[in-house]
Structure 1
Amino acid sequence: MEGIVTESNLSTLKRTVRSLVKDHVYPVDRNGVQFSDEITKELQQKGKQSGLWLMGTKKELGGAGLSFYDRSVLFEEQVQHRFGLSKPAGLAFGNDLPSFLEKCTSEQVDKFIKPAVQSGNGCFVGVWEEIENNNIGQLVTTATKEGDYWVINGEKSYVANVDKANFGVVLAHCIHENEVKPTLFIINKDESIIVKDTMLIDVQKVSQLTFNSYKLHDSQRIGDVGEGVSLINQWLTESQLEIAAKCIGIGKKALNLGIDYAKLRITRGKPLAEFPTIRTMIARSATELESARQLVGSAAKKLDEHDRNAFTLVAMAKLHATEVASKIIDNIFQIHGGMGFSGDAPLERWYKELRILRLNYIGSETLIEQIALHYFE
């Protein structure tokens, strides 16, 4: 477990993040202006000065080493702006590195991890393929041993951050001693990997990676041969908690936008805020948001404690938080009317991004099955 800060210190960190977003991020992106590389570098300098650089990365590697609970609280603050779901706080605190990289050798740390920590660009992770349906057992990408090298063949789909990342990680089925053993490998970014980019409903860029006899040295293997499933499952759990925490922040921001607009918009001679239907929308949204927040916090604490039920609680948190945030956005659209679709409001972007997040890493249907399995096993 990473170190959990006191409630008093956590409140101070929340104010730090909130202030950075309000003073330096929101003025840039409130009108739909994307962050330039120059602005991102300026924000990241402030992020480093705050002591919150790479919040979840271990201190030994150059990160802040915060607990899952602390990060979940701070994510709620980071995402409360137009591009918050894809670029929390304008990437002021950098892209965290996956926890499975703690398995890296000292040579791998020097060659790959330290440069990524310095740049804050993180890495990309290729796990899923178009045909697997969230089932690692159905993956078909293979790695065959040839002396001190592995030869990878196959494709990985829906991979994010390929263009910016310092390096990549891919999960492949090793053909080892006549057995199939899922294993993680660090891969270099080079032209021998065929990259095809796609935009998902205009808001998220992902890539398909094709490996045709891609050759890498055994020194780029992460952990033992066959350890890939346990390492990737832990990362998937942590990533889903992150999504859930982000949804709380977006839900909160959208709810506040709806409340403010309901006070201003006059219909039939009085503000929308005075109509029972609107008041019901706001009250139910606030209640559901708080229930999701409590579930996310509980799941984060269980993950910090390495509780055996953490996996199920995180699945519940991601399922509930994404659905609650989506419902809140839908309600706030109703309150805004046609104005909700204008470029002045970020609601349309959030609506699209949340729809993607309900499928991201592990889809809602798979999460429901995993939760049910926990109770019926």
Structure 2
Amino acid sequence: MTDRSFLDWPFFEAKHRAWADEVEAWAAAHAARLTDEHDADGSTRALAAAMGEAGLLRAACPADGKLDVRMLCLARDILARHSGLADFAFAMQGLGTGAITLFGCEPARDFLADVRAGRALAAFALSEPEAGSDVAALATTATRDGADWVLNGEKTWISNGGIAGGYVVFARSGEAPGAKGLTAFWVPGGLVRVVERIEVSAPHPLARLAFDDVRIPDSHRIGAAGDGFKVAMATLDVFRATVGAAALGFARRGLDLTVERATSRKLFGAPLFDQQMTQGAIADSAVEVDASALLVYRAAWLKDQGTPRVSREASMAKLHATEAAFRIADRCAQLHGGLGVVRDAAPEVLTREVRALRVYEGASEIQRIVIARAETAR
């Protein structure tokens, strides 16, 4: 059983401990049952619907517009330990609506209600074929035409692409060069063309999308014209730490699997655990789990206390937790021997699931740049 003593840390209030119990009970009963890695679309829909019915999506898409980052992180920590797709389904309902929650968009009100209930899926469309980490290089355009905007361009690596009911889309509106000339919009899913679905090692709904003279009214704008970069960064400032929380959940799963293997597997007539190298691997993983948890929940606590920007702390949390999770998954697979590389065996699934976390919402290299620049500005 995964250690839950971290819930007694001073980062948390009674409501967070009650929330953790609620999410844990739901995940233990439903996450694995509703997860089918061979049907990522169907699983994502089923998981979101079940979480919506249970009321869990109130944290990802709050009706009062107040995001509690500790609740988001606790949910991702717990869900990822049970199922990567369960974590994904929850996270995208939050990230895909986060900009609207933070900055508002009146026409999206009914969409938010559907996302909260699990009736619709949400998506965050920022990355492009030639613009991933470099947001200022976005080429999708938004051109004013009377009271409307017309969007043209492509987005790629879009989670829930092709199955989302609505997209938060960032486009170049031209108020200024570079990052200062972007604007964010809410675009209903029916206006988006799917160019291709993208298959990845750990199945998730991903797609490349096209916007072909997509016309939307100015009321679909999120934030002020030209503030798209601000909207994107504010959203990521909330959700980047939650990626670390997902990595933490995967890491806890890896540590659990490692301990179970070490104490049940015999080697030379004694438990595998009796080997000093095995004990060293377990100790290293345990230290990395706690270090990740401290960084993740520090960042979440700071944000919930009203700290205006937690980019440094969120980047530290994401960087350490995702890199640590990858090391823990590797140790887990190594100690399982041949079973560690058997397709769909628990260690092999874990290894595939943690890999992408080191890339999305800012690759590890980008997090190091953010942290280093923050240090020079102190």
Name the amino acid aligned to 2:363. Answer: G
**Structure 1's 163 and 187: CA in aligned 2 closer, same or farther, altered over 3 A?**
same
- Which stretch shows the higher mean deviation, 11-20 or 264-273? 11-20
Residues 186-206 of structure 1 show CA distances to partners (whole Å, capped at 9, x for unaligned) of 112236624311112353342
Cα contact 1:174–1:181 (8 A) shared by 2: yes
Equivalent residues in 2 for 1:310-325 (5 A)? Answer: 310-325=310-325
TM-aligned CA distance change 1:235 to 1:105, over 3 Å: closer
- Distance in 2, matches of 1:60 and 1:98, equals 13
Instruction: Confirm whether residue 59 of structure 1 aligns to residue 59 of structure 2.
Output: no
CA–CA distance in 2 between the matches of 1:115 and 1:161? 15
Report how far residue 323 of structure 1 moved: 0.5
Q: 1:33 to 1:259 in 2, by over 3 A?
A: farther
Q: What's the counterpart of residue 357 of structure 1?
A: 357
Q: Greater CA deviation, 273-282 or 129-138?
A: 129-138
| C-alpha distance in 2 between matches for 1:74 and 1:231 | 24
Does the Cα contact within 8 Å between 1:185 and 1:220 map onto a contact in 2?
Answer: yes
Which residue in the other structure is 2:99 paired with? 100
**Which deviates further from its counterpart, 331-340 or 206-215?**
206-215
Deviations 1:49-98 (A, max 9, x none): 4x43331322336xxx56212321232212222xx23322x958992353
Match for residue 152 of structure 1? 151
Distance 2:47 2:156 in 1: 32
Asked if structure 2 preserves the Cα contact closer than 8 Å seen for 1:54 and 1:120, the reply is: no
Q: For residue 21 of structure 2, what is the amino acid of its counterpart?
A: R
Q: How many residues align?
A: 365
* Structure 2 counterpart of 1:24: 30
The within-5 A match list for 1:105-144 is: 105-110=105-110, 112-144=111-143
Deviation at 1:353, TM superposition (A): 2.6
Distance 1:131 1:137, change over 3 A: same
Return the offset for 1:164.
2.8
Task: Name the CA shift for 1:128/1:45 in 2 (closer, same or farther; >3 Å).
Answer: closer
Q: Does 1:10 align with 2:11?
A: no
Contact 1:204/1:353, CA 8 A, preserved across alignment: no
Indicate if the aligned counterparts of 2:41 and 2:204 stay in contact, CA closer than 8 A.
no
**Partners of 1:255 and 1:6 in 2: CA distance:** 23
Structure ranking higher in helix proportion: 2
Q: Which moved more, 1:245-254 or 1:352-361?
A: 352-361
Cα distance in 2 for partners of 1:115, 1:234 equals 23
- The 3-state SS of whatever aligns with 1:208 is strand
Shift of residue 100, structure 1, vs aligned partner? 1.7
Could you report, residue by residue, the CA deviation over 1:6-48 in whole angstroms, capped at 9, with x for unpaired residues?
633433322222222223333555x967589599658845754
Contact 2:49 2:117 in 1 (8 A): no
Name the aligned partner's letter for residue 129 of structure 1. E
Q: Report how far residue 108 of structure 1 moved.
A: 3.3
Q: Per the alignment, in what secondary structure is the counterpart of residue 251 of structure 2?
A: helix
Q: What amino acid maps onto 1:53 in structure 2?
A: L
More displaced, 353-362 or 128-137?
128-137
1:334 and 1:28 map into 2 onto residues whose CA distance is 29
The SS at the match of 1:125 is strand
Residues 1:369 and 2:375 are matched in the alignment: no
- Give 3-state SS (helix, strand or coil) of 1:59's partner: coil
Q: Percent identity?
A: 24
Partner of 1:79: 80
Displacement of 1:242 in angstroms is 1.3
Distance in structure 2 (CA, Å) of the matches to 1:294 and 1:373: 22
User: 1:156 Cα deviation (Å)?
Assistant: 1.0
**Under a length normalisation based on structure 1, what TM-score does the superposition of the two structures give?**
0.86
Change (3 A) 1:197 1:28: closer
Deviations 1:194-240 (Å, cap 9, x if unpaired)? 43111123533421112232222222211210111111101122222
Matched with 1:68 is 69
How far apart are 1:349 and its partner, in Å? 2.4
Indicate the larger mover: 16-25 or 217-226: 16-25
Q: Give secondary structure in 1 for the equivalent of 2:198.
A: strand
Q: Which amino acid aligns with 2:58?
A: L
Q: Gaps (5+ residues) in structure 1?
A: none
Cα distance in 2 between the residues matched to 1:56 and 1:5: 19
What is the alpha-carbon root mean square deviation over aligned residues? 3.0
TM-superposed CA distance for 1:118, in Å, is 3.0
Distance 1:232 1:262 in 2: 44
**Cα separation, 2, equivalents of 1:156 and 1:223:** 20
Q: After superposition, give the CA deviation of every residue in 1:240-265 in whole Å (9 maximum; x if it has no partner).
A: 21110011111111111111111111
Deviation at 1:166, TM superposition (A): 1.4
Change (3 A) 1:92 1:312: closer
